[in-house]
Amino acid sequence: MVNLNEFKNYLISCSKSENTISSYISDLEQYFKQYPTLTRENILKYKNSLTGSTSTINRKLSSLKQYNEYLLVTKQIDGLYILKEDFIKVQNKGNPTDVTTKQVEKFLERVLTKDVDYKSRNIAIVFLIANTGIRRSECCNLLLRNIDLENNEMIVIGKGNKERTVLLTDKVVEILRNYLVDRNKSRYKNSPYLFVSERGDKLCPETINDIFDYYSTPKNKIRPHQLRHNYASTVVENNILTLTELQNQLGHSSISTTGIYTHARKDTIKKKINKLCIGY
């Protein structure tokens, strides 16, 4: 099978996130288990063999396209073998928010009231994500020196190592102050990172998943990205920020991405559809 280490180093030099790199490498390993080389013929055979959702198929093709471009840049090949028409066209799915305001409120209430070790830290993590929309990975990478509670803001390093300033509500500032009191008692209090664990001076994404799992229920399972979507939808629905302002808060490179939150939530549309009664 093709050695992908050089490609991985290339992705790192392009400031791709760890998750993106891991996804690319996994997809490419799947391809090269079946085909020894990247050719137009092999790509078409591979595409026809893929199963799953449209987004999954397109993601796997995107991984091949990225590798194809790398080979072209490094002069290992002389053309692109993956074409625009290879990707499956998808109609805009609208607002990606798949939780209701009520579900989020119930989840946050459990976070506030359920007794657990590191309670102030967990509250700080969940409420920070819920009220800023930062990504799980961004939360893990927050540096203590970049948190300015006096001015209600923090510096976040997002995708592609792009830096942005995210503004904080007074309530979130209060929650973070409470956490910092407990953090100062930790054996990892000298860590440069805002959030620490009992095992190290930096929280890993899997730990944040565990925190969310702890407060979730079978009927109300909430993930970090769902709080991000809910934040964006709530801000738009209540005319709290302009799209440009929200774009900066979320760290989107294109305002068209932020624009998806101007569409109604799916649960709102369902309520309206249920009022329809044609023929009965």
Residue ranges covered by each domain of the chain: 5-86, 101-265
Superfamily for domain range 101-265: Intergrase catalytic core (1.10.443.10)
Q: In angstroms, rounded to a whole number, what is the distance separating the alpha carbons of residues 209 and 93?
A: 26
Q: What is the pLDDT along the chain (280 residues), one digit of tens a residue?
A: 688 999 999 988 887 878 888 999 999 999 999 999 999 999 999 999 999 889 899 999 999 999 999 999 999 998 899 998 999 987 777 899 999 999 999 999 999 999 888 999 999 999 999 999 999 999 999 999 999 999 999 999 988 788 999 999 999 999 999 999 999 999 999 999 999 988 888 898 899 999 999 999 999 999 999 999 999 999 999 999 999 999 999 999 899 899 999 998 988 888 888 887 787 6
CATH dotted code for 5-86: 1.10.150.130
pLDDT at 13: 86
**What one-character DSSP code corresponds to residue 165?**
E
Domains 5-86 and 101-265 share a fold: no
Q: Please name the residue that has the structure tokens 């440069």.
A: 192
pLDDT at 103: 95
pTM over cut 0.85: no
Q: Annotated active-site positions, please?
A: 135, 159, 225, 228, 252, 261
H-helix segments, the chain? 5-13, 18-34, 40-49, 54-73, 101-113, 119-132, 136-140, 170-183, 205-215, 224-237, 243-250, 255-258, 266-273
pLDDT at 188: 92
What is the torsion angle, in degrees rounded to the nearest 10, for the CA atoms of residue 254, residue 84, residue 16 and residue 14? -100
